[in-house]
Amino acid sequence: MVTALILPAAAGTASAATYHSDSDTSLGLLDYLENEHRAARAQKPNPEKEQLKADTEEMSKHLRYPIDPTKAAPVAFEGDDLTWNQVTGDFMAKGKVKVTQLDQHRFEGENVDGNTIEERIHIPGKGHMLQFTPGQTEVMLDGFETNYNYRTRTGTMESAKGKVAENYMTGKKFEFYPDKIVIYDGTKTKCSAINPDYSLFARKIEIYPDDKMVMHNVRFKIKGVTFLSKSQYEVNLKKDTTVSDWFPRFGYDKTNGLWVRQHLKQPIAKKVTANENIRYTTKKDWRNEFNINWENAGNYARVTQGYFDDSDDNWIKKQPSLLVGHTARIGNSPFHYSINGEYGRWKQGAVKSNHKMYNVGLSYDPIRFEGWKLNLSTSYEVTHESYNDAHYSGFNYDATLTKDFDDRWSGYGAYRYQKNNRENSPFDFDNDDYSRKFEAGFSYRIDENNRVAFGSKYDVDNATWRKFDYYWFHDMHCSQVILHYEGRDKTWKVKWRFLPI
Q: Give the per-residue SS3 of 374-404.
A: EEEEEEEEEEEECCCCEEEEEEEEEEEEEEE
Asked if the model's pLDDT at residue 147 lies above 80, the reply is yes
Report yes or no: 68 and 9 within 8 Å, Cβ to Cβ. Answer: yes
Per-residue pLDDT averaged across 264-270, rounded? 86
Q: What is the pLDDT of residues 316-327, one digit of tens each?
A: 999 999 999 999
For residue 330, the 8-state DSSP code is: -
41 phi, psi to nearest 5 deg: -65, -35
Residues 6+ apart with CB under 8 A from 43: 16
Report CA 153 to chain centroid distance, whole Å.
30
Residues 6+ apart with CB under 8 A from 433: 421, 422, 423
Q: Is residue 34 classed as helix, strand or coil in its secondary structure?
A: helix
Structure confidence at residue 206 (pLDDT): 95
pTM of the model: 0.79
**Exposure b/e, 53-62, CB count within 10 A at least 16 = b:** eebbeebeee
Q: Is residue 31 classed as helix, strand or coil in its secondary structure?
A: helix
Asked if the model's pLDDT at residue 9 lies above 60, the reply is no
- Other beta carbons within 10 angstroms of residue 133's beta carbon come to 17
- Other beta carbons within 10 angstroms of residue 47's beta carbon come to 8
Q: What is the pLDDT of residues 428-447, one digit of tens each?
A: 888 888 899 999 999 999 99
